[in-house]
Amino acid sequence: MYKRILLAYDGSESGQKALLDCRDIAQWSQAALSLIAVTPIHMQVIGIEGGIYERSLAEQDKEKYQGILDEGLRRLAESGYQASGEVLYGETVDEIAKYAEKMEADLIVVGHKHLEGWAARWWRGSVSKSLIEHAPCSVLVVITR
């Protein structure tokens, strides 16, 4: 049975579906629920040789992802379920896996939207697919089309 569930939440349609499914699982198993939103790293490319950290973009994203996280926590609270939440900064899959290990999660829940066309799938990659390879526990992928 799941006692500690981590939801990687991005506010998307698939993320919102994952939020609802996660809430139901947490209520059913009487588990503690934590939400995280991961702010991506921003680098400004300077020629072939490298790039620099773009602080202003990072600050804008942190505010954006804090708003997304707060909305998810509010939706859970409105349905009678309390959860903790935190905004993380870094590579999405790495941060989710590290946080799950830190909190000793039994389950990670993540939303996934099937993308149309091979170019979209190749360009965007798949957080859920990579997460399955790196997660320290079970992963539930909630799919929308």
Query: Would you list the domain boundaries of the chain?
Result: 4-144
Q: At 137, which amino acid appears?
A: C
Average pLDDT, the chain: 83
5-52 per-position pLDDT tens digit: 999 998 888 888 898 888 889 988 999 999 999 987 765 555 555 555
Neighbours of 73 (CB within 10 A): 19
* Superfamily (CATH H level) for 4-144: HUPs (3.40.50.620)
- Give 135 or 145, the one with higher predicted confidence: 135
85-130 per-position pLDDT tens digit: 999 998 999 999 999 999 999 999 998 876 665 544 444 567 888 8
**Per-residue pLDDT, 123:** 46
Q: Which secondary-structure segment (H or E) carries 4?
A: strand 4-8
